[in-house]
Every structure is written in C-alpha cells, then in structure tokens.
Amino acid sequence: MAKVIPCRQCLGCGEKKEKTELIRIVRGTDGYYSLDETGRMNGRGAYICKNPACFDAAVKRKGFERSFKESIPADVISRLKGEFEDLGQK
C-alpha cells in the first residue's frame, strides 16, 4: 500500500513537492527564525526546495513576507541563507 506523504508548496518555484524534498523554515513563538530539519518545531512554517536558487527566488518574490505576514530583516535572511547552504552540503 502506498504511503501518503503530505505535499507542500515551495515558496521559491511554487512547485508542490513531498515534505522530505523541502526544507522547512519556521518562525518560533519567540519570533526567532530558524531552519527546521526535523519538521517538528513549533511555530509558523514555510517550505522551500533544497535548492539555493529557490531560496533566492523566495526572497525576490517576497514569499517569506507573505508566509509569515511580516517583513524579515536582511541580516536574518542572510543568516538563514548561510544555514540553508550548509544543509545542502550535507
């Protein structure tokens, strides 16, 4: 029997993919943004393909602003981007 894997939409390219192919970015209840490798962190989340190009596209399209309903400071974006790229190299 096929296992049903929930799909989420990438903020960058807009494609729907299985959660395992995406990285979750979460805003914790304290307002701190982080990458959620386990997919179990509390807070509001958004998904992006494991592809730095999609991260950049999400920034350009203001996908983060739309998902989290607030603007994200540039230094937070660059920190997340760094963490994102580290993840991609694992």
Q: Does 10 bind Zn ion (CB under 5 A)?
A: yes
Q: Are strands 44-49 and 33-36 parallel, antiparallel or unpaired?
A: unpaired
Tell me which stretch binds Zn ion (CB under 5 A): 10-18, 28-36, 71-79, 81-89: 10-18
Nearer to Zn ion, 10 or 46 (CB): 10
Q: Which is nearer to Zn ion, 32 or 65 (CB)?
A: 65
Closest to 27 in 3D by CA, of 9, 44, 10 = 44
Q: In whole angstroms, how close is the CB of 68 to Zn ion at the nearest point?
A: 17
In the complex, the smallest distance separating the C-beta of residue 36 from Zn ion, rounded to whole angstroms, is 17
Strand-pair partners of 49? 22
Give buried/exposed letters for 21-58 (b at 16+ CB in 10 A, else e). Answer: ebbbbbbeeeeebbbbeeeebebeebbbbbbeebbebb
| Using rule CB under 5 A, residue 54 touches Zn ion | yes
Give the footprint of Zn ion on this chain (CB under 5 A). Answer: 10, 12-13, 49, 54
